[in-house]
Copies of this chain bind each other. A is one copy, B any other.
Amino acid sequence: MFFIDPMSRTPIYEQIRSQLESLILAGILREGDRIPSVRSLSVELSVTPVTVLKAFAELDSSHIISSVPGRGYFVCEGAREALSAQRRALLDEVERISKQLAAASIDIEDVLSRVRLAYDSNKRKEESK
């Protein structure tokens, strides 16, 4: 269900968070569903429980999942909608700022290269390439 790349420059907890988000967006994890326990997932992924917990805590603070101590983590009401709204908002923000940059006559290539830079810094440097 989960796959992490320990060599990636994206921190492991971000990879876990991102995959949980995708599972919720895809409707595989639904409102009220219990998600795998911190410990079981840490075993499955061969990482320490603290790393899994960090991913869960971030989603908890965005009200995407909710912790019930002693019972586990559960997908919140409206989590899916919240996630798509979040993503739409980020893309809208990119557009809004890009309009300002266009108005300031900044070369579009400068903007595009910044986006690529951000994505690259998030990716593994593949030595074999």
Contacts and interface: CB of A to CB of B under 8 A. Distances in A.
A117 interface: yes
B103 A98 contact: no
Interface string A72-112: 00000000000000110011011111111111111010111
A124 B43 CA distance: 34
A48 interface: no
Copies of this chain in the oligomer? 4
Interface string A21-45: 1100000000000000000000000
A116 B99 CA distance: 10
A2 interface: no
Nearest to A96: B118
Contacts of A91: 101, 106, 110-111, 114
Contacts of A99: 118, 121-122
A51 to B, nearest CB: 12
A63 to B, nearest CB: 12
Given A99-B121, A103-B122, A94 B111 contact: yes
Interface of A: 10, 14, 17-19, 21-22, 61, 86-87, 90-91, 93-106, 108, 110-112, 114-119, 121-122
